[in-house]
Chain A
C-alpha cells in the first residue's frame, strides 16, 4: 500500500459527459502528479501541483483541468469526454517538488467511455 488513495476505482460514462477523479496523497507529501496510462502510450504525465500551486504541465488537454486543495487532496476534472479518453488515470505524490523525488502511485481510476 503506497498510502496514496484514489477514488473512484472504476468509472463508466458516456461521450460528452464530465467526471471528477479524486486523489489523497501520502501523509506529509506536498506534491501531487497526475498521469494517464493507455495501452499504446504508456504513462503520460498530465500535470503537477505542489502545496496548492500548479508546478508543471505535460500533455494535458484543454478539456482537462486539475486543482489541489488546502488539505492537499487533488481533483482531476475531465470534460466533453471522448472515446479516446478511456484509460487508467494515476495519481502519484512525493514529499517535495524538485528533481530526484521518488513518486508513490495510487491504484488508479479506470475510466471507460461508452
Chain B
C-alpha cells in the first residue's frame, strides 16, 4: 500500500527549514528517503530502520515513529541545491519471501533565492 506524503509541494527561501512527512497504515520494517531532480535519477538520502538505526546523509536528518508508522525528513538551512522531489519509500514484508519497497507520490520542494 502506497505511503502518503505531505505536503505535496512546498516553496522555501534559502536558509529556511522544511519538514516532509510520510505515513503508512502498515507495520514497517524501514523507511527510505530519496531526492529526484527534474530529468534525473532518484538519489538515495537515508534509511531509517525499525529499532532506531539510521543509514545515510550527514546534512539531512529524519525520524521514524514505529508506533505510528510515520517518518519525517528534516531539511534545515535549505540551499538552492535542495530543490527537487522527495520520495519516501516504505519497506515491509511482502509475505512472499521478500521485503518490498513502495514509494509515495513525492513532495516537490522548491528553494528560491
A residues whose Cβ falls under 8 Å from a Cβ of B:
2, 4, 33, 35, 41-45, 48, 55-58, 90, 92, 97-100, 102-108
Asked whether, in the complex, the Cβ of B100 is within 8 Å of the Cβ of A56, the reply is yes
A103-B36 Cα distance, complex, nearest whole Å: 13
Within 8 A of A (CB), among B71-88: 87
A106-B30 Cα distance, complex, nearest whole Å: 22
B residues whose Cβ falls under 8 Å from a Cβ of A:
2, 29-30, 32, 34, 40-44, 47, 49, 55-56, 87, 89, 91, 94, 96-106
Asked whether, in the complex, the Cβ of B29 is within 8 Å of the Cβ of A99, the reply is yes
A45-B99 Cα distance, complex, nearest whole Å: 12
Closest 10 interchain pairs by CB? A105-B41, A43-B103, A56-B98, A99-B99, A42-B105, A99-B29, A102-B44, A105-B42, A55-B98, A100-B30
